Amino acid sequence: MTDLRLAGLAARLPGLRLLSTPAELEYYGRDWTRRWTPAPLAIALPANIDEVQAIVRWANEERVAIVPSGGRTGLSGGAVAANGELVLSLERMNQVLDFNAVDRTLTVQPGVILQKVHEAAQEHDLIYPVDFAARGSCSIGGNISTNAGGIRVIRYGNTREWIAGLKVVAGNGELLDLNRGLIKNSSGYDFRQLLIGSEGTLGIVVEATLKLAEPPPPSQVMLLALPDMDALMQVFALFRQRLSLQAFEFFTDIALNHVLAHGAQRAIDGDYPYYVVTEFDAADEVAQETALAAFEHAMEQGWVSDGAIAQSESQAAALWRLREGITESLAPHKPYKNDVSVRISAVPAFLHEMQDLLGREYPDIEVVWFGHIGDGNLHINVLRPEGLAEDAFIAQCEHVTKLLAETLHRHGGSISAEHGIGLVKRAYLESTRSAAEIALMRGVRQVFDPNGILNPGKVMTAD
């Protein structure tokens, strides 16, 4: 180890695990975005809160930038370390610390993988309801830092609904114990909520108390094929009115073809432009008949062209794979990802406008639409045409994002629904947040992190 600053850190914390081989720097220096070349100074893997605090204090003294790091499944570059930062990985702080049956809470360290949170809740016949495809790799600390959403938001909301307490080491090195598991706490500003979704720019989550919920009633999963977007929105309105929805997700035929090519099983014959996977409460025969009646009504109206209902858990999993397998099936194409939201009522107009615009400007690029349409959240992935160089492709995608940002601005939407701003969407923050808001955000950042050591360059530039 040659870096004198690192030698100082090692001397101060003799038990601290520090990594710095080229393979380790490469592995910990990137997230699921693949645009930046990892170049961290080193990787620190603290074992407890005291070590996190000591690292942050050292970083303030030495003016070393820190990139907080969880499961690194992020899609906006929030956990990328490409400029000599110290990656502070929370992966060794991976214990479930406490279950409180009266409060119905689970207290966990930040490195606990989401899947393990689910299992820990299930051991007590409860659920932690935030869920999405990266559940086996993403960490709860990262979920909190990005206010992760996913496939159950329509029923349960985003991560921020499920955080009863947060311990955080702020950028200035102070340990904050925020909200302490209270349900009611009207004692001034709620810093817990400010920290959730701040993408590691204000503080590092070192412990979280999660709310748990009753498991939902038994459910059914249905796949629907639809003729157009207007029909899709009609079906959504109908199903939301008549059924108790747990999820309502959509994808296009282009997305379906990628998942099928990746090994998923076709569940409906024929080709249709849009598909929906929906899950709803179906505890008894009455509920199941209500669902069937809603489906038949949608067929009669011409809103649905075909459909399939899962008759077993394995069939339900196969239908879900058609939606949840999309990201993995696109990964080999290194897609350029956009993750946007508009009000649900604005979805059809926004989608038509964008599809027309992209069809006119970029008739040759493949655009894959999918996402959480029941929340007004659309994922728009652009795939590189064969033969187009990486640089030219990125330039094209940046232009697509510019068009998106302008269109979103007109529709009152957001350039990031659930993936965060990170590095990828930083240049487009102004399309969603006003100049006055961004100035306040910079001011808040300055208060929590006066020396600018936490995730510099992420979300917004320093000025």
Which residues of this chain interact with ligand MLT, rule CB under 6 A? 75, 132-133, 326-327, 337, 339, 371, 379
- How far apart CA 157 and CA 29 sit, in angstroms, is 31
Write the burial class of residue 216 (CB in 10 Å: 0-12 exposed, 13-18 middle, 19+ buried): middle
Nearer to ligand MLT by C-beta: 372 or 445? Answer: 372
The tokens describing 145, both together, are 């830092």
Nearer to ligand MLT by C-beta: 191 or 350? Answer: 350
Nearer to ligand MLT by C-beta: 43 or 221? Answer: 221
239: nearest Cα among 326, 194, 297, 182: 297
Closest separation between CB of residue 178 and ligand MLT, Å? 27
Closest separation between CB of residue 107 and ligand MLT, Å? 27
Closest separation between CB of residue 342 and ligand MLT, Å? 16
DSSP for 115-156 reads HHHHHHHHTTT-B-----GGGGT-BHHHHHHHT---TTHHHH
CA angle 133, 69, 259 (to 5 degrees): 20
Nearer to ligand MLT by C-beta: 250 or 448? Answer: 250
DSSP for 384-410 reads PPTT--HHHHHHHHHHHHHHHHHHHHH
Nearer to ligand MLT by C-beta: 30 or 337? Answer: 337
417: nearest Cα among 336, 337, 341: 341
Q: Name the residue whose CB lies closest to ligand MLT.
A: 327
Closest separation between CB of residue 382 and ligand MLT, Å? 12
Segments of 28-85 assigned E as strands = 42-45, 66-69
The tokens describing 445, both together, are 């950042």
Residue pair 438/93 in contact by the 8 Å Cβ criterion: no
Q: DSSP class of residue 1? A: -
Closest separation between CB of residue 326 and ligand MLT, Å? 6
Nearer to ligand MLT by C-beta: 75 or 114? Answer: 75
Closest separation between CB of residue 8 and ligand MLT, Å? 40
- How far apart CA 350 and CA 364 sit, in angstroms, is 21
Nearer to ligand MLT by C-beta: 51 or 339? Answer: 339
Closest separation between CB of residue 96 and ligand MLT, Å? 25
Long-range contact list for 345-349, CB < 8 A, 24+ apart?
346/376, 346/411, 346/412, 346/413, 347/229, 347/233, 347/373, 347/376, 347/378, 348/229, 348/230, 348/233, 349/411
Closest separation between CB of residue 371 and ligand MLT, Å? 6
Closest separation between CB of residue 370 and ligand MLT, Å? 7
Nearer to ligand MLT by C-beta: 75 or 80? Answer: 75
Nearer to ligand MLT by C-beta: 133 or 205? Answer: 133
Closest separation between CB of residue 268 and ligand MLT, Å? 20
Q: Which residues sit opposite 274 in a β-bridge?
A: 226, 252
The CA–CA distances, whole Å, from 176 to 112, 165, 169, 191, 222 equal 20, 10, 6, 9, 45
Residue pair 336/394 in contact by the 8 Å Cβ criterion: yes
Nearer to ligand MLT by C-beta: 222 or 255? Answer: 255
